[in-house]
Structure 1
Amino acid sequence: MEKLLFMFCVGSVFLLIGSSDPQLDSKPIFINCGTNSTTTISGRQWVGDSAADNLTLTSPGLTITSSTGADHGPLYSTARIFNTTSNYTFSVAVSGTYFVRLHFGALDVNNSIFGVTANNLRLLSQFNVSDALARANATSLVKEYVIRVTSRALALELAPSTTASFAFVNAIELVPVDDEFGLFAANYVDRALETMFRLNVGGPRIGPGGDGGLFRGWEPDDRYMLIADAGSLVTNTSRVEYASANDTRAAPLKVYETARAMSDTEVLEKRFNMSWKFDVDPGGFEYLVRLHFCELAFDRTDQRVFRIFVNNRTAAEEFDVFSRAGGKGKAYHFDYADTIETQIDTLWVQLGPELSASAAGTDAILNGLEVFKLGKNGNLARPSSRFGSGSNSSPGRASKSLVLYGVIASATAFAVVVVVVAGAVRGRRKRMVVAASAKWRSLSTVEASASGAQGACTGNRTMGGRRFAISEIRQATRNFDEALVIGTGGFGKVYKGEIDEGVAVAVKRAHPQSQQGVAEFETEIEMLSKLRHRHLVAMIGYCDEQSEMILVYEYMSNGTLRGRLFGGLGGGPVLDWKQRLEACIGAARGLHYLHTGAGDGGIIHRDVKTTNILLDSEFVAKVADFGLSKAGPGWDRTHVSTAVKGSFGYLDPEYFRLQQLTQKSDVYSFGVVLFEVVCARPVIDPSLPKDQVNLAEWAVRWERQGGLRAIVDLRIECSNESLRKFGEIARKCLADEGRNRPTMGEVLWHLEYALQLHEAYVRSGDGEAFVKAEEEVVAAALGGGGCS
């Protein structure tokens, strides 16, 4: 990794740019492609590229109109397409630094794979708009670059990647950075930048109209946070102003009027960081991280001191915003640059307390965050996507129609379009097959490894489960009737269905436009194809036709454990104490099997919670949802190093802090489940007083004081001894350090002991008879020991 570059004295690194000639008027250029009309949007005039007098086209290409794009705004209703390399050449008033923005929308043009260069700087290569939209889960996107133009012209070249492909663009912006100081140091702009992310931390979206003439968009940060509740929202309490003239163009003041800070939250311990995770392009690129700060609460130095980490490396220690910015309400920004290793596609930004400092508030604050990719050897292009260059295997696209709407300028142009479309349709048929194999590539590998076979499966049965036709799935779910939806998630929806003349199943269908669940689906197939246990939800089969990703499971008629704790399913009765104990025991058996009976190192579930514990018609508990599961460490290792994933409130703090996953991480999460079972309240409830917000912390305090009975769900009846044993093992699961937590086998043994104590209580009642019965249970437990 290259040497880290720190930029602590921001004012000293800025470069005077642009022409000093006041006679030259540098104005933004807004081009609406594929039309000759002018459109006004949010106060900006977008001139049709056919009518603009400040640009020339080397080839007219073709104009198209799309009803799909029109649904997402007038800029995306028209486009200009090129089947050969063509240039937009812009005449600019002054040389200098420009924001160059390219707008792309969903135009149903699946064969569009192309590259873009700007004055010989490669911006995009093998670019597939449909793939990019699928990755972003969006209907339109803007690719933004910061480019230094050294002449009075900017040539944007669009080049189809193959003879059967074509290039297109919906709109183009050129916005000069015409203030006295440039936004970036000279050594950055000379290499060019691509804007990857621009966030208004703790605040709402700020559109281009609210950015003071630079027309940047600032999006909310919550979708990028590992745990949004790790940072509470803060707003300004006094007038905010820029710390210096060098900061006035860095971000609009609205960005500095909101923030996330840790000082007002009691949900997490002080040693936790606020963490943001970004998917970036691999390939050894260098990234510039720009952090925007404004102290909104403290009015003296040394009151809020914290550390800044980028990709687990320290970017700044003892960072005091008040001191650096020069006071409260002063807007200030800080830059940090680092090189991402070739194979890494994730960038982490974390802010946490400086525990060694004696500050009154050792917590972090952040108002805004930007991530820029720096050009390398004249290149900013993302490496080819995992679908492969020219592939059309992004989810949901195989079912799209390939339709071009346009006015054809001549018979020759018309012939070109016919050839292009015909080739695209032929290619599409082939790519539909590629789509299924790319998205479901784990199916073939799982089946082959499970059966030992090298060839294709015969019939409609595989070792990975039954392969359903899409027609069978539609019939089973009444064509995905919304009335049959029994659950939803980031992957899509779960339907109740019927197969084979009345057999109830759960049908899990990935949303056709979502990329979120692809990896999770593949992991779940791999795991469930290898695992068989009474207390794990069984996978019956799958469907991979027509670019669908569907899994079929056994149907669990009594829903989730959480649903039964909070009022019962469909108004049914809540679980009594014995049923709750048996559910916990069943789940513990399933997890114990994962940890010890699934090969070397076992399997770590990584998302243990009450919504992932399901109950069948006999209230037998089964662990579900293996999308985040990981193979455990081998005999010669203590942990698995991996990015933190899981559910807030259940997450092991040691795993979060060290990013080291162990089986004890599941044990911690299960300890939270145990207290949720006995208290029947949410694991995080911000509406409660601060000392009660976090169930685990609150319940552990009561248990240690011997007062767990005071917070037990009033709808259940249980003996003090059974409750005491249950609370004791739950508390041990929540030990700060994993080495001090019991194994899942030990947890199981103690839960079975608690159930025996309860059954003895029920048989004998209170009093001397119960004491005698309890002594017999204890003696039997000590004599037998262990667990099954």
Structure 2
Amino acid sequence: MGKITGEGLLIVLILVAVSTTDAQPKSLLINCGSNSSVNVDGRRWVGDMASNTNVTLSSPGVAVSTSTLSGNSIYDPLYKTARIFTASLNYTVKEVQGNYFVRFHFCPFETGEDFNVNKSSFGVVVNGLKLLSEFDVPGMISHKNMDLQSSGKNASSFFLVKEYILAVNVDLLVIEFVPTGGSFGFINAIEIVPVVGELFDGSVSKVGGGGGNLNLNGRAMETMYRLNVGGPEIQSDQDPDLWRTWEVDSSYMITENAGSAIKNHSNITYASMNDTSVAPLLVYETARAMSNTQVLEKRFNMSWKFEVDPDFDYLVRLHFCELDYDKANERIFRVYINNRTAMGNVDIFVRAGGMNKAYHQDHFDTVSSRIDNLWVQLGPETAAGAAGTDALLNGLEIFKLSRNGNLAHVERFDSADNLVGKSKARIWVGIGAGLASIAVVAGIVLVLCFCKRRRKESIDTKNNPPGWRPLFLYGGINSTVGAKGSAGTQKSYGPAASTRAGKRFTLAEIIAATNNFDESLVIGVGGFGKVYKGEIDDGIPAAIKRANPHSDQGLAEFETEIEMLSKLRHRHLVSLIGFCEEKNEMILVYEYMANGTLRSHLFGSDLPPLTWKQRVEACIGAARGLHYLHTGADRGIIHRDVKTTNILLDENFVAKMADFGLSKDGPAFEHTHVSTAVKGSFGYLDPEYFRRQQLTEKSDVYSFGVVLFEAVCARAVINPTLPKDQINLAEWAMRWQRQRSLDTIIDARLKGSYCPESLSKFAEIAEKCLADDGKSRPTMGEVLWHLEYVLQLHEAWLNLKSNETSFSSSQALRGIQDDGGLEVVVQEPSSHDEEVGLDLKQN
């Protein structure tokens, strides 16, 4: 008998028969590959070969017994048996007319060379409706796992939920499993649960209007996502009527800090008794509301991004319940789906009929063949008053609607678990068929050979026994030199090394330079790992950045930084001296910046404060570096993480831009922006980029504007300990600047030591950088020109003060004697006069 060597996966496929019946159907729970019963989650699951059931099999297939190492699911006992099929296998279920959930459980296992689940591929058809095609269970496990890891989430448990809604008008449910080609398929368990109540109305309005309502009658659906927003995962046994699982939403958020989790203060009830089966009350007892609502300008949204199948219609269900306010007009917001308004002027209290009243809203939208993601965003209603600048969401579900009797979308994975067949396939559009075929075939052969060799090395290195392992575990981070890519492949740094500038250091040299990574030499810590001060080449100081060997986080950024700094050279960019990639280590060596970050000289340390001139010069240096990035290459480079901790100062306080891990090449000549996932630092993030996911050079300009205000005010860009109107530096400073009173909140240590006109011009530049519309912001070249003018104004002011002081001091000298000495007479001297007098000595 086989033995499970990987973690279990529950794949849930739910079918709801939309019809009416007088008698309430009963649940049917099937333990596949067995003739015995087992009690799981308080319910009894009957073997698929047991007698006296309404289930028959078209063929026996192969029944196997397994064991599981999952430990992450209440359904693990069901995964100890499975049924394998190498030819079409039908489960025919009688007396099922009505509304049902049908869930299929899959847990990969090893049964010998004849059935390698890494090569398993099959389809599922129910009553003639195609649900799955060329379904690859391990590939789907690996793909979702990598998605979680790439977003920094825990990926130790992997459950993939697919839900189908089907109109069944016959007293029969035929579930057909169809292997792909010469492959095979398997199934561990099936549960068929009757639906209680009504889940959907007859029609749904289209996002943005103009498309009328969509009639749901006769439309099959697949549930793509079900989220408990702002709350913990809801297990199936916590939804005892329908046994649904509700995921945590944070892994799908673009910026988790944009929304704060909140809980209810009293009992929740349904706004309508027709909604009692739509979602359990647990969903409405928690929510996510906008963070820092009183300080964020009315531009920021809470955003969730979902990968979906292209060329389908989608129904989006939003769950709401007002948990905080007991009257109207306290929380008003808008809902956007795929960057179009789905709901405006939303006041949950008004729509639900009071506080702690649960209700839901449905919308549908069409995703074209060129798009494979769907966005849901909540943001302030621009017409609302300051008190209403807020938004709230309790739950979210996304359903895919059938098209021409089909819900299947083929998900193909290459040998390294990368998802193909979506946006990647479109790269070849327009290329001649012959050339494309040759390139693709050659590429596949190379990838297969490379991945096979790497995978074998990984397995050999770790002395793993043969047999099935989840694909995302092959070639673990400790098994080879390199980093995991976002899709779980080993990304080798070696082949690129020959094209890099800088010295290749041995690990022994790095250990000697850092005294074996002495903790007392740590000068910085980030998601990538630690930065040490070291000495290389006979005492030359250097900053040595070492990736954490026990974590993937930031390794992709490491590779980006190497690539960027290898082709960039400028006085105001931190220089890359070299690198080390040896024995699982990924280390970068930079020039040492003796005075650390700009932020450390502004606040949060006991370092002496910078003068106004030093602050302006530091901003000029950073602006020169950014201007070079934007203009020094054919397409330009967008830094994407401009902030005061990424502006470093050398021993002469010359500023240089650092940390290029998030940098992106600018748009191609014929494009105006780069479409990419939102990354950056909260407080510095361009709201237009955040809202539209369109990156431009003006996104760096916005972030630099926040840096300018930070240099003036010397405080954190987000400080939740301050009063609400001061938490966000950009909004607080802009409010004073619009009144032309920024000097009211200037760093107190600068009082009396700066040119008022230079501050005024400096503030005007910062204000222009923070314009809502990117097109209204200046270029970095224009910003640089104005900052240099600010410096000239201040230096002229300093010279004028110096001349005035010199003239005043000369008037204080009286009575020159001719007896070989100098008599100093000071009448009521000022502090400056005293300093001058101290420098004069009698001959």
TM over 0.5: yes
Instruction: Report the Cα offset of residue 247 of structure 1.
Output: 1.3
* Whole-angstrom distance in 1 between the partners of 2:251 and 2:652: 39
Partner of 1:157: 177
Deviation string, structure 1 residues 570-608 (Cα, Å, up to 9, x no partner):
x766656555444322211111111232235x3332321
Does the 8 Å CA contact 1:19/1:94 hold for their aligned counterparts? no
Which of 172, 179, 200 is the aligned partner of 2:196?
A: 179
Amino acid at match of 2:590: E
Does the 8 Å CA contact 1:606/1:630 hold for their aligned counterparts? yes
- Relative distance call for 1:84 and 1:555 in structure 2 (3 A) is farther
* Whole-angstrom distance in 2 between the partners of 1:60 and 1:549: 46
* Whole-angstrom distance in 2 between the partners of 1:182 and 1:303: 30
Amino acid at match of 1:258: T
Partner of 1:9: none
Partner of 2:101: 98
Partner of 2:432: none
Amino acid at match of 1:135: D
Does the 8 Å CA contact 1:113/1:161 hold for their aligned counterparts? no
Amino acid at match of 2:101: Y
Partner of 2:118: 111
- Relative distance call for 1:79 and 1:757 in structure 2 (3 A) is farther
Aligned: 1:143 with 2:194: no
- Relative distance call for 1:421 and 1:238 in structure 2 (3 A) is closer
* Whole-angstrom distance in 2 between the partners of 1:614 and 1:106: 52
User: Quick check: 241-250 or 119-128, which moved more?
Assistant: 119-128
- Relative distance call for 1:185 and 1:46 in structure 2 (3 A) is farther
User: Quick check: 527-536 or 50-59, which moved more?
Assistant: 50-59
Does the 8 Å CA contact 2:333/2:389 hold for their aligned counterparts? yes
Deviation string, structure 1 residues 111-162 (Cα, Å, up to 9, x no partner):
3553352536343624413333222332232222334466555546374787
Report SS of the residue matched to 2:62. coil
CA RMSD of aligned residues (A): 5.4
Does the 8 Å CA contact 1:296/1:328 hold for their aligned counterparts? yes
Unmatched 5+ stretches in structure 2: 1-15, 150-154, 204-214, 421-443, 809-843
* Whole-angstrom distance in 1 between the partners of 2:544 and 2:615: 24
User: Quick check: 306-315 or 150-159, which moved more?
Assistant: 150-159
List aligned pairs for 1:665-744, cutoff 5 A. Answer: 665-703=699-737, 708-714=742-748, 719-721=753-755, 723-738=759-774, 740-744=776-780
Amino acid at match of 2:401: L
Does the 8 Å CA contact 1:104/1:141 hold for their aligned counterparts? no
Which of 639, 646, 654 is the aligned partner of 1:605?
A: 639
* Whole-angstrom distance in 2 between the partners of 1:337 and 1:403: 50
List aligned pairs for 1:281-360, cutoff 5 A. Answer: 281-296=308-323, 306-319=333-346, 321-322=348-349, 324-355=351-382
* Whole-angstrom distance in 2 between the partners of 1:141 and 1:650: 34
List aligned pairs for 1:709-788, cutoff 5 A. Answer: 709-714=743-748, 719-721=753-755, 723-738=759-774, 740-755=776-791, 768-769=804-805
* Whole-angstrom distance in 2 between the partners of 1:472 and 1:84: 57
User: Quick check: 184-193 or 349-358, which moved more?
Assistant: 184-193
Does the 8 Å CA contact 1:58/1:88 hold for their aligned counterparts? no
Partner of 1:583: 618
Partner of 1:133: 145
User: Quick check: 112-121 or 465-474, which moved more?
Assistant: 465-474
Partner of 1:7: none
Partner of 1:626: 660
Partner of 2:278: 250
* Whole-angstrom distance in 2 between the partners of 1:323 and 1:118: 44
- Relative distance call for 1:318 and 1:593 in structure 2 (3 A) is same
* Whole-angstrom distance in 2 between the partners of 1:501 and 1:106: 54
- Relative distance call for 1:678 and 1:327 in structure 2 (3 A) is closer
Partner of 1:561: 598
Report SS of the residue matched to 1:309. strand
Instruction: Report the Cα offset of residue 291 of structure 1.
Output: 0.8
Partner of 1:123: 132
Which of 226, 230, 246 is the aligned partner of 1:198?
A: 226
- Relative distance call for 1:98 and 1:544 in structure 2 (3 A) is farther
Instruction: Report the Cα offset of residue 672 of structure 1.
Output: 0.8
List aligned pairs for 1:419-430, cutoff 5 A. Answer: none
Report SS of the residue matched to 1:181. coil
Does the 8 Å CA contact 1:577/1:717 hold for their aligned counterparts? no
- Relative distance call for 1:245 and 1:439 in structure 2 (3 A) is closer
Amino acid at match of 2:569: R
- Relative distance call for 1:319 and 1:709 in structure 2 (3 A) is closer
User: Quick check: 289-298 or 110-119, which moved more?
Assistant: 110-119
Partner of 1:411: none
Unmatched 5+ stretches in structure 1: 1-13, 406-416, 448-455, 773-788
Report SS of the residue matched to 1:198. strand
* Whole-angstrom distance in 2 between the partners of 1:284 and 1:589: 45
Percent identical pairs in the alignment equals 46
* Whole-angstrom distance in 2 between the partners of 1:311 and 1:88: 39
* Whole-angstrom distance in 2 between the partners of 1:442 and 1:525: 17
Does the 8 Å CA contact 2:620/2:788 hold for their aligned counterparts? yes
Does the 8 Å CA contact 2:577/2:591 hold for their aligned counterparts? no
User: Quick check: 536-545 or 643-652, which moved more?
Assistant: 536-545
Does the 8 Å CA contact 1:279/1:347 hold for their aligned counterparts? yes
* Whole-angstrom distance in 1 between the partners of 2:393 and 2:475: 47
Does the 8 Å CA contact 1:145/1:192 hold for their aligned counterparts? no
Instruction: Report the Cα offset of residue 253 of structure 1.
Output: 1.6
Does the 8 Å CA contact 2:225/2:397 hold for their aligned counterparts? yes
Does the 8 Å CA contact 2:221/2:402 hold for their aligned counterparts? yes
- Relative distance call for 1:59 and 1:613 in structure 2 (3 A) is farther
Instruction: Give TM-score, length-normalised by structure 2.
Output: 0.69
Does the 8 Å CA contact 1:508/1:550 hold for their aligned counterparts? yes
* Whole-angstrom distance in 2 between the partners of 1:674 and 1:485: 28
Partner of 1:21: 23
Aligned: 1:664 with 2:664: no
Instruction: Report the Cα offset of residue 290 of structure 1.
Output: 0.7
Report SS of the residue matched to 2:303. strand
Amino acid at match of 2:341: T
Instruction: Give TM-score, length-normalised by structure 1.
Output: 0.73
Amino acid at match of 2:369: T
Instruction: Report the Cα offset of residue 660 of structure 1.
Output: 5.1
Deviation string, structure 1 residues 157-183 (Cα, Å, up to 9, x no partner):
3747876xx7666x6452524314345
Query: Which structure has the bigger radius of gyration?
Result: 2
Does the 8 Å CA contact 2:250/2:256 hold for their aligned counterparts? yes
* Whole-angstrom distance in 1 between the partners of 2:783 and 2:305: 37
Instruction: Report the Cα offset of residue 692 of structure 1.
Output: 0.5
Amino acid at match of 1:680: A
Partner of 2:827: none
Amino acid at match of 2:195: D
Instruction: Report the Cα offset of residue 683 of structure 1.
Output: 0.7
Deviation string, structure 1 residues 467-496 (Cα, Å, up to 9, x no partner):
778999899889999888766666x43454
Amino acid at match of 1:291: L
Partner of 1:779: none
* Whole-angstrom distance in 2 between the partners of 1:364 and 1:74: 37
User: Quick check: 375-384 or 69-78, which moved more?
Assistant: 69-78
Which of 570, 576, 579 is the aligned partner of 1:533?
A: 570
Deviation string, structure 1 residues 666-705 (Cα, Å, up to 9, x no partner):
2221121122233332211222111101111222334455
List aligned pairs for 1:517-528, cutoff 5 A. Answer: 520=557, 523-528=560-565
- Relative distance call for 1:65 and 1:245 in structure 2 (3 A) is same
